[in-house]
């Protein structure tokens, strides 16, 4: 629809819109909803990472990889190992594995490990949403 010059021209506006969208969703959200938002954003970033891998878009790939790994780190850092029982260490290992698969996908320029990571995270996100 838009040429690359038009996309570049409007990219800052798109980034601002996305920032406002996330800020609006976060504002007033409780802890459970915040985790849901992190999962949603992680799945979105992983989809963008796959697109970047498949299309050879190094800028998109780099940005999506960094954001995916940052979200996984935030999810892991937010785990309550004192109150989380057996679930907290299990989730920590899942997040570590998802990070490893993302790095492998990027290093090998292969979307298959990323698809595996995305599937695992999607299952957890779905289970998380059913809790409420």
Decide: 59 and 71 in contact? Cβ < 8 Å. Answer: no
Tell the CATH superfamily of the 30-131 domain: Flagellar protein FliS (1.20.120.340)
19-66 pLDDT, tens digit each: 545 555 556 668 889 999 999 999 999 999 999 999 999 999 999 999
What per-residue confidence (pLDDT) applies to 17?
Answer: 45
| Sequence ranges of the domains in the chain | 30-131
Nearest to 110 by CA among 28, 47, 54, 43: 54
- Does this model's pTM top 0.85? My answer is no
């Amino acid at each position: 629809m838009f040429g690359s010059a038009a996309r570049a021209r409007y990219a800052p506006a798109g980034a601002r819109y996305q920032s406002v969208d996330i800020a609006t969703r976060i504002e007033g959200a409780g802890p459970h909803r915040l985790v849901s938002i992190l999962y949603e954003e992680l799945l979105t970033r992983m989809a963008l990472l796959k697109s970047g891998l498949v299309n050879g878009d190094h800028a998109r790939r780099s940005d999506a990889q960094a954001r995916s790994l940052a979200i996984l780190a935030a999810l892991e850092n937010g785990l309550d190992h004192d109150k989380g029982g057996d679930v907290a260490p299990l989730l920590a290992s899942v997040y570590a594995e998802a990070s490893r698969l993302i790095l492998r996908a990027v290093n090998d320029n292969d979307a298959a490990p990323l698809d595996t990571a995305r599937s695992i995270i999607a299952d957890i996100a779905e289970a998380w949403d059913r809790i409420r």
